[in-house]
Amino acid sequence: MMWKHYILPMGLLLTGLTMTASAQRANTTGGTEDPILPIVNRLDLERYKATIKGLTQFGDRRQGTDRNRAAIDWIEAQLKSYGCANTERLKYDYPDSAVRASSTAQSPPRLRGVRAPTGVNTDPIKQPDVKLRELNSQPTTPGPREQVYCTKIGTTRPGEMYIVGAHMDGHGWGEAANDDGSGTALVMEVARVLSSPDVETERSIRFILWNNEETGLNGSRAYVAQRSALQGKEDPPGSGRYPEPKWLGMIQHDMMLFDHGMPLPNGTMSKEQRPEADVNIEFQMNSKMAAESQALAWFFDQANDKYATDYPATVGRHMSNTDSLPFQDVVAAISLRENERLRHIGAGWDPQWHQPTDVFATYNDKDFRLGLNAAQTTLGALSQLAGAKLKK
């Protein structure tokens, strides 16, 4: 085995061994009990699938519609049922010049191989399911918006926090099962495990499901605009309560399921998952917090080595077009995905992206298991960073 060294965003040096699969199953690290593995083992493929399925009952959850608002209510009820009872909602207006994004696109690296058309489907007739077409028929309107979050309060360092997010809105006249039901369900499942009454963490963790991602990251931009200046302030003084603990890192999840490779020469896609399928962990190399974000990305890569059961991770430097971007210049920020956002997804590697085919039935258990492995990666890394343990 080779030793790996990682500088953590909090300034600590972590030195650890990359575990083999047999060591994981034995629940040992260097002959000692691993306190994190029993926590990660509480993730379950069928529960993950069921949470995605639950989200699809609201269709594409397009922002500014009744189905979007109903989905937010459902997510909040689920979080409360897990024990994450201190749910809150951040409110903002859309459109609002104070939070409206300029273009989030970045120049992609040079693309190789076959490319397939990408875009957003706006034609309801392309959705053959009449019931789903009707469910998605209400158009969006501008006005007030909400997004829900809950917080696991740290026992010894409650004024420090990791933010774990995914966007719950979608579009394209499908079910937004992958974009981004898969990421939303991942965050909810991690929240379920860490909100269990027998799990405690030293640091706080906030689980947030962004709205308005598809319109330019408006929900996450509103959060940064409203909450950044409140970081680490005890309120009221001496109470030990921190409405907005100091941010230590932001981890985003966006499209977790589909890794079937590049389009074939005729523009079609393989029905089978590619043998090289992996979890992509990205940071933005030209951000102000690039060094800290890169360190966080490699720490998650190490957690993947230790806790993911089936798929490896790949670290990339082109984080783009997702809700970690508003954080990238103020705190270590990374995103987890099914593929590289610019090199792969933007080149047509996911034909369901913003299309009527992004429905639960499109994906198979290998696809869902790829998402579960991303959840294992995040839960393993986050449990270490936040100091999670099972109460005795």
- CATH classification of the domain holding 7: 3.40.630.10
Confirm whether 115 is domain-assigned. Answer: no
Does some domain include residue 65? yes
DSSP 126-184: G---HHHHHHT-SPP--EEEEEEEEEE--SSEEEEEEEEEEE----SSS--IIIIIIHH
Residue 69 included in any domain: yes
Q: Is residue 352 part of a domain?
A: yes
Nearest to 330 by CA among 359, 370, 290: 290
Instruction: State both tokens at 17.
Output: 């061994």
- Cα separation, 164 vs 84, whole angstroms: 14
Name 143's bridge partners: 94
Is 234:328 a contact under the CB 8 Å cutoff? Answer: no
Question: Residue 15 falls within a domain, yes or no?
Answer: yes
Structure tokens at 29: 């690290």
Q: DSSP letter for 247, please.
A: E
- Domain count across the chain: 1
Q: What is the pTM of this model?
A: 0.91
Give the domain extent around 348.
3-101+120-260+273-390
Residue 140 falls within a domain, yes or no?
Answer: yes
Q: Which long-range contacts (CB under 8 A, 24 or more apart) does 23-29 make?
A: 24/306, 24/307, 24/309, 29/306
CB 167 within 8 A of CB 213: yes
| pLDDT at position 107 | 47
Three-state SS for 323?
coil
pLDDT, averaged in runs of 10, over the chain (392 residues): 41 35 44 90 98 98 98 98 97 79 46 66 97 98 97 97 98 98 98 98 98 97 98 93 97 98 90 97 98 98 98 97 97 97 90 97 98 98 98 90
Check residue 346 and give its pLDDT. 86
pLDDT, position 342: 87
Question: What does the radius of gyration of the chain's CA atoms come to, in whole angstroms?
Answer: 20
In a domain, 382, yes or no: yes
Strands, sheet with 279-282, edge to edge from the N-terminal-most edge strand = 88-94, 143-152, 203-210, 157-167, 246-253, 333-337, 279-282, 313-316
- Residue 84, pLDDT score: 95
| Residue at 265 is within a domain | no
Is 373:277 a contact under the CB 8 Å cutoff? no
CB 310 within 8 A of CB 377: no
Angstrom distances, CA of residue 378 to CA of 85, 99, 280, 303, 306: 22, 28, 12, 8, 11
Q: How many residues does the chain have?
A: 392
66-82 vs 45-56: helix axis angle to the nearest 10?
150
Show the beta-strand stretches assigned E in 188-227.
199-200, 203-210
